[in-house]
Amino acid sequence: MGVKWNTTFDKLPEMAANAERLNGKTVKVGVFDSNHAWLAGIHEYGCTITAKRSKYLTVPIHPDAVGKKAGSFSDLFVFTAASGEKFLAKGEGNSLEFYYWLTASVKIPERSFLRAGHDKYADEVLKKVEMALGQVISGEMSEQQFYDMAGRMLATKIKKYARDLKTPPNSNATILAKGSSNPLVDTGEMIESISWRTD
Mind listing the pLDDT tens digit for each residue in 139-176?
888 888 988 999 999 999 999 999 888 887 767 766 56
pLDDT of residue 9: 47
Examine the pLDDT at 3 and tell me if it is beyond 60.
no
pTM for this predicted structure: 0.73
Q: Give the pLDDT band of residue 28 (cuts 50, 70, 90).
A: very high
pLDDT of residue 94: 79
Examine the pLDDT at 136 and tell me if it is beyond 90.
no
Residue type, 170: N
pLDDT in tens, 47-75: 999 998 889 999 988 888 888 999 999 99
Higher pLDDT, 138 or 40: 40
Examine the pLDDT at 10 and tell me if it is beyond 50.
no
pLDDT in tens, 62-114: 888 888 999 999 999 999 999 999 999 998 777 899 999 999 998 888 999 99
* Torsion angles phi and psi, residue 13, rounded to 5: -60, -40
Higher pLDDT, 8 or 151: 151
Question: 168 preceded by cis ω (within 30°)?
Answer: yes
Closest CA to 184 of 50, 39, 58: 39
Closest CA to 49 of 111, 104, 97, 98: 104
pLDDT of residue 148: 92
Average pLDDT of every residue of the chain: 83
pLDDT of residue 55: 93
Angstrom distances, CA of residue 165 to CA of 12, 56, 117, 134, 145: 47, 30, 10, 35, 30
pLDDT of residue 41: 93
